[in-house]
């Protein structure tokens, strides 16, 4: 008689500290090994695409904040660029720089949360308090700028809602001076920690082919060794005038595309964001911050697909207009959605504890999956 083991169905979530919002996984396990991993999403579905069809263009802006609450500025920006392209709205140069500035600042705090929760998910609670401390400073800066600490509703069609307050750039500079050495501290503290590396190196490898097949985007795609960044390859706003490197997974430890490379990419990206921010501060031009038009917003019939690089990768808005005051259809394509769809493929065969590392490394945010 052959020796057999029994499989068990294990329900993980929807309320599990590591699941970054409300996610549920149905696992068929054999001991500690996962045979089959089925993500179950939709707990945070708010019907954003349906809401978009029922509101005038400008009224949908606050909803994009809630699309990905960790990177509200980037979502604002993506939507604003889409409508501007469709309606031919000019943006003053100062506004472009302010937009890039807030987008990169938001990228930093989004990656901070990602790195902090990553460490927390695999058992190190302290780093999270450190990253949150830095994030708090940026939240204060944003509050000064637009009054919001999490959902900003700051970007407008044709500019931004408020000009920079007096002395904002100095205070931002002070934050950057403080923040840059912190990154080195994180490296000593987390990245080069032996236990942390043992836990992540070589775990849940996503090959470049898999990454393309599942349409992974942003840091997850680059961690698999594919050199692709919209900010550099299809520059929008003023990214074309700024100098920065695009970090690509190169396997300092382990292999390209494992959990550790996905973590490491985010630390690098924060470094590059700091570089972009410093250039923005140096180049910030004078001028109006909002090309506010008195005319009613008019979008000709037609369709347009615009994507921008948010912290969780490409954020695509597919807008179909029939000429009315409301969009005929607004499809939102997010990075977490495709990251979530690959979990079933990569997660099968892992240990249960490594699944937690995989989800954390993909930096999935549940509201962005469900929309």
Partner 1 sequence: MEEQSILERIKRIIGEADLVWVDDQLGDSYLVIPKEKLRRLAIYLKGDFHLAFDTLMCLSGVHNMGEQDEMEVVYHLYSIRHRHQFILKVKLDRPAFFPHFYLRVDSLSGIWPAAAWMEREAYDMFGIHFVGHDDFRRLLLPPDWEGHPLQKDYRESEVYRGISTTREEIEGILAEESG
Contacting residue, 16, 28, 66, 85, with partner 1 by CB under 8 A: 85
For partner 1, the closer CB: 41 or 102: 41
For partner 1, the closer CB: 19 or 191: 19
For partner 1, the closer CB: 184 or 345: 345
User: What are the angstrom distances between the C-alpha of 68 and each of 71, 74, 314, 353?
Assistant: 6, 9, 12, 26
Binding mask 259-288 for partner 1 (x = CB under 8 A): ------------------------------
The nearest distance, CB 183 to partner 1, in angstroms, is 29
Counting Cβ atoms within 10 Å, is residue 92 exposed (0-12), middle (13-18) or buried (19+)?
Answer: middle
For partner 1, the closer CB: 311 or 327: 327
Tokens 């490379």 correspond to: 261
Binding mask 208-227 for partner 1 (x = CB under 8 A): ----xxxx----------x-
Considering the rule CB under 8 A, would residue 228 count as an interface residue with partner 1? yes
Contacting residue, 11, 31, 32, 47, with partner 1 by CB under 8 A: 47
Q: How many residues bind partner 1 (CB under 8 A)?
A: 42
For partner 1, the closer CB: 129 or 322: 322
Contacting residue, 27, 34, 41, 204, with partner 1 by CB under 8 A: 41
Contacting residue, 66, 341, 352, 353, with partner 1 by CB under 8 A: 341
For partner 1, the closer CB: 48 or 267: 48
Omega before 14 within 30 of 0, i.e. cis: yes
Contacting residue, 337, 357, 358, 363, with partner 1 by CB under 8 A: 337
The nearest distance, CB 43 to partner 1, in angstroms, is 9
Considering the rule CB under 8 A, would residue 232 count as an interface residue with partner 1? no
For partner 1, the closer CB: 62 or 208: 208
Binding mask 289-328 for partner 1 (x = CB under 8 A): ----------xxxxxxxxx------x-x-x-xxx-----x
Residues that bind partner 1 (CB under 8 A): 41-42, 45, 47, 49-50, 53, 85-86, 212-215, 226, 228, 233, 299-307, 314, 316, 318, 320-322, 328-329, 331, 333, 337-338, 340-341, 345, 370-371
């Amino acid at each position: 008689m052959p020796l057999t083991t029994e499989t068990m169905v294990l329900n993980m979530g929807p309320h599990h500290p590591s699941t970054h919002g409300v996610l549920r996984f149905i696992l068929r396990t054999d001991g500690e090994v996962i045979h089959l991993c089925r993500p179950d999403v939709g707990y945070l579905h708010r019907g954003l695409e349906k809401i978009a069809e029922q509101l005038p263009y400008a009224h949908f802006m606050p909803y994009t904040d809630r699309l990905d609450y960790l990177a509200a500025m980037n979502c604002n920006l993506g939507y604003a660029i889409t409508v501007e392209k469709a309606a031919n709205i000019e943006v003053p140069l100062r506004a472009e720089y302010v937009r890039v500035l807030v987008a990169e600042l938001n990228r930093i705090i989004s990656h901070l949360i990602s790195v902090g929760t990553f460490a927390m998910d695999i058992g190190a609670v302290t780093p999270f308090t450190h990253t949150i401390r830095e994030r708090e400073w940026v939240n204060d800066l944003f509050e000064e700028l637009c009054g919001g600490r999490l959902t900003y509703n700051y970007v407008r069609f044709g500019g931004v809602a408020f000009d920079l307050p007096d002395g904002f750039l100095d205070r931002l500079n002070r934050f950057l001076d403080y923040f840059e050495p912190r990154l080195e501290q994180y490296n000593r503290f987390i990245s080069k920690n032996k236990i942390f590396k043992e836990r992540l190196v070589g775990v849940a490898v996503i090959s470049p082919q898999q990454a393309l097949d599942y349409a992974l985007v942003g840091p997850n795609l680059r961690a698999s060794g594919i050199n692709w960044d919209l900010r550099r390859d299809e520059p929008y706003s003023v990214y074309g005038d700024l100098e920065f490197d695009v970090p690509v997974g190169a396997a300092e430890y382990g292999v390209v595309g494992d959990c550790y490379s996905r973590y490491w990419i985010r630390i690098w990206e924060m470094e590059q964001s700091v570089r972009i921010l410093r250039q923005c501060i140096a180049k910030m031009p004078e001028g109006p911050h909002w090309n506010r038009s008195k005319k009613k917003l008019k979008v000709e019939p037609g369709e347009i697909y615009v994507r921008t690089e948010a912290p969780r990768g490409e954020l695509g808005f597919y807008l179909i207009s029939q000429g009315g005051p409301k969009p005929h259809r607004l499809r939102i394509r997010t990075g977490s959605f495709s990251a979530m769809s690959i979990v079933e493929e990569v997660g099968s065969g892992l240990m249960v504890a490594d699944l937690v590392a995989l989800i954390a490394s993909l930096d999935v945010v549940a509201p962005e999956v469900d929309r």
